[in-house]
């Protein structure tokens, strides 16, 4: 499939040239990052011809957000990724202000991308109207052509009173002979809702229902919906904006929630049974899932939020994704664990079994900035335990567990930041003993608590010379520690 569009051709050349100036050894080794410029939401996470494709919101010309393109990568194992040329550029009247987020499926040997086109229209009084519309591009895993009749869903298919400016991020899937799209929208009450549409040919669509409404319960606008069956339940994922804090569960600003319930395919209705938080960390937004060939449900997200941009301004790239995770339902809520394929990249194992920790100490060979470490308290009489990551005499990031209050704290205030941003987050743990799995990849830490019941994802842009791991215990504990180096050679 030849690319004749000059705008897309030029931006592909720009990206290819810019990548040669980036020192890959200063970038994370097994997390997706921007080739150059800026990335945010993951898009089009999908299986196509036995490979997993991930697209992403992308502004290659600057390390700040700008007119959105779709960057593109693929993988066979979720750990090593191959960069592919940019898939979409804002080059049509209906997407000239940006090709916003969306999803993808394989159908009939073709790779179908569904995305939000955004356009700004100047009115006679010089005011500006922003319109968001749903569009489709079809390709072969490398090159994509936008449909001639785009946009396929616009404001004419919205219920009365709903926003045409906040109408985005379609989740597309196919059941039997029909295609469906679940699209985020701002309702007449100013908060989010998800609208379900159906098509038989990808070109003509009709509205089926408003599947779920926020009713101003969780923030305002909901972004980046996902919808899938997991075991015998259905799951909706959304990323609410402008949330207000609720104890240890909901934090202020932008976050990601899931709803577990039942879906009636005949009535196009969803009955919510449980609401949960997908990630409790400082940097997590816009998750998107894919079903693997062996039936696992895998989720990936942008490891940042809009209010907390701490990317160093001397980097030539901005933004990274979380490590892909496998999600399951256990005891009625979602559990997450790191993608199992990471175990193929574990090297240099170091184990401490039934080992006593007290006071402040470091352990031989327990260090590094590209690691997978399991830490379990098996017994002890103690008030607190702290693990300091990416540590030296000047910097560290702390994971602190208070055994009296059962509060786990992630704190990066001493990580080298020079911006006044959120640095601390706390969660409540309902277990007597602590079990953590900590994955660090240079500038990030992902903490899986008690076998993935809760997860915290956060960025730590500490200088890479800070390699130490330090333990501080008020009291005495007996622990099991398993630590591995993760060694990955990424695509240039």
DSSP labels, 368-406: -SEEEEEEEEEEEEEEEEEEEEEESSS--EEEEEETTTT
User: Which residues lie closer than 8 Å to 295 by C-beta, 6 or more apart?
Assistant: none
Which of these, 425, 455, 458, lies nearest to 444 by C-alpha position? 458
CB atoms within 10 A of CB 376: 16
Pairing status of strand 37-48 against strand 317-318: parallel
Could you give the residue ranges of the DSSP H alpha helices within 178-242?
none
Catalytic residue of the set 21, 41, 148, 451: 41
Q: In what order do the strands lie in the sheet with 257-264?
A: 222-230, 233-240, 257-264, 269-277
Tell me, yes or no, if 262 is annotated catalytic.
Answer: no
Q: Where are the beta strands (DSSP E) in 61-109?
A: 69-75, 81-88, 98-107
Cα torsion through 18, 22, 27, 29, rounded to 10: 80
What is each CA distance from 240 to 22, 217, 299, 329, in whole angstroms? 34, 10, 17, 22
3-state SS class at 204: coil
What's the rounded Cα separation, in Å, for the pair 143 and 87? 6
What's the rounded Cα separation, in Å, for the pair 104 and 87? 12
Give the residue numbers annotated as catalytic, written as ranges: 41
């Amino acid at each position: 499939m030849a690319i004749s569009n000059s705008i897309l051709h030029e931006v592909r050349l720009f990206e290819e040239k810019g990548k040669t100036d980036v020192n890959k050894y200063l970038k994370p080794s097994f997390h997706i990052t921007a080739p150059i410029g800026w990335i945010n939401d993951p898009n089009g996470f999908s299986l196509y011809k036995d490979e997993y494709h991930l697209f992403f919101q992308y502004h290659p010309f600057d390390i700040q957000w700008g007119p959105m393109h779709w960057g593109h990568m693929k993988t066979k194992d979720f750990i090593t990724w191959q960069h592919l040329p940019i898939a979409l550029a804002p080059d049509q009247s209906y997407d000239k202000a940006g090709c916003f987020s969306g999803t993808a499926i394989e159908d009939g040997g073709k790779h179908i991308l569904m995305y939000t086109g955004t356009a700004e229209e100047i009115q006679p009084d010089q005011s500006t109207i922003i319109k968001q519309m749903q569009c489709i591009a079809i390709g072969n895993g490398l090159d994509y052509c936008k449909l001639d009749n785009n946009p396929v869903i616009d404001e004419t298919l919205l219920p009365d009173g709903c926003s045409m400016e906040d109408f985005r991020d379609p989740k597309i899937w196919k059941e039997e002979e029909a295609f469906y799209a679940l699209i985020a929208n701002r309702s007449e009450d100013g908060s989010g809702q998800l609208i379900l549409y159906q098509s038989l040919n990808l070109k003509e669509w009709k509205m089926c229902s408003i599947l779920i409404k926020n009713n101003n319960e969780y923030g305002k606008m909901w972004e980046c919906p996902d919808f899938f069956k997991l075991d015998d339940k259905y799951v909706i994922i959304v990323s609410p904006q402008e949330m207000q804090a609720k104890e240890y569960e909901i934090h202020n600003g932008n976050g990601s929630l899931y709803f577990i319930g039942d879906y009636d395919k005949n009535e196009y209705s969803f009955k919510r049974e449980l609401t949960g938080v997908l990630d409790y960390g400082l940097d997590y937004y816009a998750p998107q899932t894919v079903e693997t060939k062996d039936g696992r449900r895998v989720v990936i997200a942008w490891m940042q939020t809009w209010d907390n941009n701490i990317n160093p301004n001397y980097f030539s790239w901005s933004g990274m994704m979380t490590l892909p995770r496998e999600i399951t339902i256990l005891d009625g809520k979602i559990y997450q664990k790191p993608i199992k394929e990471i175990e193929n990249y574990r090297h240099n194992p170091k184990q401490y079994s039934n080992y006593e920790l007290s006071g402040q100490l470091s352990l031989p060979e327990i260090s590094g900035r590209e690691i997978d470490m399991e830490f379990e308290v098996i017994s002890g009489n103690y008030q607190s335990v702290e693990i300091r990551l990416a540590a030296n005499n000047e910097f560290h990031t702390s994971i602190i567990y208070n055994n009296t209050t059962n509060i786990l704290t992630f704190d990066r205030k001493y990580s080298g930041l020079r911006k006044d941003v959120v640095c601390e987050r706390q969660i409540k743990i309902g277990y007597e003993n602590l079990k953590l799995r900590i994955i660090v990849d240079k500038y990030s830490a992902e903490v899986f608590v008690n076998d993935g019941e809760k997860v915290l994802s956060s960025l730590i842009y500490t200088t890479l010379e800070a390699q130490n791991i330090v333990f501080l215990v008020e009291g005495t504990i007996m622990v099991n520690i398993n630590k591995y180096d993760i060694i990955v050679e990424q695509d240039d």
